[in-house]
């Protein structure tokens, strides 16, 4: 096995371990605080700092990665996540909204440090060809999403089996073991620039990256506006699903989404070339129709369970293709010597979309139910479509 492939596999394995805890803690917080009687908007507010600090972290993290090395940033993210998990093991009386928001802020910083560093590392380890880069980034991102789905299920099951605090201790211990393993296997200084980039270098001067980042903002806002809070609360309250049933379904959805994303390069062969801007435009336009169709079906009085479950499966498959195309394009557009800076800027937009989507998810569901969430999702996707028209 060559050194580049070995390092890629180590980074991917570390990303997998982190992602399991990220999915699990999300499901733990949503279900546990829903069980305590928190409203949908109150639950959404618990994640505001998680998403807000994701915006800041991606901006600063790309700069730090270029100065210190991507592997150091990845390991810092793992340790911060262990701290975030342990913060929530305090007695229940301490778990007020402000305290949980602070713990989630730490988790948000950890997640985006880990994600930015792992994905930027692929540019350094991957084969020189466009198709090789497309395959490697699709496998990394797709497998990560499959593991995040497994994390949703793991969090729901651990909540029922070990309780809230017990689940958090198990997750923290497992992630710390992954941290120790990757520290011993990865070389130092991956992605570190010879010079010391200025902080202003994080702001992209490449129009293609700026447009792709804007499209990414609306793409992920469109997903989270109904997926983060509205959907799990709808499944539990309106359809009467159990916590483990809700967690299992969302896990299957994300796992399937990840599998589709990982296999996209195998069947999307534009005459053996990698995707281009036109690919992003086509797939986001197709995705725009799906939440609108689900909303119309619910408004028409069709069976809610069939409409939501079937629509979500279709949405997941098309969204996975969108995400795979985007994840390739940002690395293709990025300058090799500024990949950490470019990827950090791009994922700052991603985190911004998640932030807006999370806030809108709780507020829209509380005021207009799942239908309101879906129409906002369709509007966001229409904005992404218009922006994608100018991708090179």
Q: What is the mean pLDDT of the chain?
A: 81
pLDDT, tens only, 1-51:
567 677 777 887 888 888 888 888 888 888 888 778 887 777 877 877 887
Note whether 344 and 115 are within 8 A (CB).
Answer: no
What is the pLDDT averaged over residues 231-256? 82
Q: How many CA atoms lie within 13 A of 227 on its CB side?
A: 28
The pLDDT, as a whole number, for residue 177 is: 92
Superfamily of domain 3-190+204-388: MFS general substrate transporter like domains (1.20.1250.20)
d(CA 337, CA 178): 29
The pLDDT, as a whole number, for residue 261 is: 79
Cα distance between the two ends of the chain: 36
Alpha helices in the chain (DSSP H): 3-35, 40-45, 48-68, 70-87, 97-125, 130-161, 163-185, 207-227, 230-237, 243-267, 277-299, 304-333, 339-388
3-class secondary structure, 367: helix
Note whether 68 and 13 are within 8 A (CB).
Answer: no
pLDDT, tens only, 255-294:
887 788 778 776 666 545 677 888 889 999 999 999 999 9
**Could you tell me which residues are beta bridge partners of residue 270?**
273
The pLDDT, as a whole number, for residue 385 is: 96
- The answer, yes or no, to whether residue 147 has pLDDT greater than 90, is no
- The answer, yes or no, to whether residue 213 has pLDDT greater than 80, is yes
d(CA 155, CA 64): 31
The pLDDT, as a whole number, for residue 273 is: 64
What is the pLDDT averaged over residues 336-346? 69
For the entire predicted model, the pTM comes to 0.72
**141 Cβ neighbours under 8 A, 6+ residues apart:** 119, 258, 261, 262, 323, 324, 327
Which DSSP string corresponds to 125-150?
HS-SSHHHHHHHHHHHHHHHHHHHHH
The pLDDT, as a whole number, for residue 173 is: 92
d(CA 311, CA 203): 37
What is the pLDDT averaged over residues 95-118? 84
pLDDT, tens only, 75-97:
888 999 999 999 988 888 888 87
Q: Which comes out higher in pLDDT, residue 170 or 126?
A: 170
Reported confidence tier of residue 114, pLDDT bands at 50, 70, 90: confident
What is the pLDDT averaged over residues 318-341? 79
Tokens at 32, concatenated = 């546990």
What is the pLDDT averaged over residues 57-70? 70
Reported confidence tier of residue 304, pLDDT bands at 50, 70, 90: very high
What is the pLDDT averaged over residues 168-180? 92
The pLDDT, as a whole number, for residue 290 is: 97
């Amino acid at each position: 096995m060559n050194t580049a492939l070995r390092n890629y596999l180590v980074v991917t394995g570390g990303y997998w371990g982190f992602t399991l805890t990220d999915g699990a803690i999300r499901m733990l917080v949503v279900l546990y605080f829903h069980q305590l009687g928190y409203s949908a908007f109150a639950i959404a507010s618990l994640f505001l700092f998680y998403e807000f600090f994701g915006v800041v972290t991606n901006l600063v993290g790309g700069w730090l990665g270029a100065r210190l090395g991507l592997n150091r940033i990845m390991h810092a993210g793992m340790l911060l996540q262990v701290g975030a998990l342990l913060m929530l093991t305090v007695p229940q009386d301490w778990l007020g909204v402000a305290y949980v928001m602070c713990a989630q802020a730490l988790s948000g910083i950890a997640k985006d440090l880990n994600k930015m560093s792992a994905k930027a590392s692929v540019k350094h380890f991957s084969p020189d060809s466009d198709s090789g880069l497309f395959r490697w980034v699709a496998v990394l991102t797709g497998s990560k999403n499959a593991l995040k789905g497994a994390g949703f299920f793991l969090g729901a099951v651990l909540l029922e089996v070990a309780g809230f605090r017990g689940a958090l201790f198990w997750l923290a211990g497992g992630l710390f073991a992954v941290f120790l393993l990757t520290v011993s296997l990865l070389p130092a200084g991956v992605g570190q620039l010879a010079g010391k980039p200025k902080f202003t270098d994080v702001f992209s001067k490449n129009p293609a990256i700026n447009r792709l980042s804007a499209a990414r903002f609306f793409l992920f806002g469109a997903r989270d506006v109904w997926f983060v809070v509205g959907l799990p609360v709808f499944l539990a309250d309106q359809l009467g699903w159990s916590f483990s049933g809700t967690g299992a379904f969302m896990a299957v959805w994300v796992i399937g989404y990840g599998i589709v994303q990982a296999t996209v390069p195998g069947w999307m062969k534009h005459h053996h070339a990698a995707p281009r801007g036109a690919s992003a435009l086509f797939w986001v336009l197709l995705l725009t129709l799906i939440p609108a169709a689900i909303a119309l079906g619910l408004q028409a009085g069709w069976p809610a369970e069939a409409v939501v479950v079937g629509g979500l499966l279709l949405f997941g498959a098309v969204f996975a293709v969108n995400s795979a195309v985007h994840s390739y394009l940002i690395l293709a557009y990025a300058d090799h010597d500024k990949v950490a800076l470019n990827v950090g800027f791009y994922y700052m937009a991603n985190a911004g979309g998640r932030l807006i989507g999370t806030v809108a998810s709780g507020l829209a569901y509380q005021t207009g139910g799942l239908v309101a969430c879906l129409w906002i999702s369709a509007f966001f996707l229409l904005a992404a479509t218009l922006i994608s028209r100018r991708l090179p």
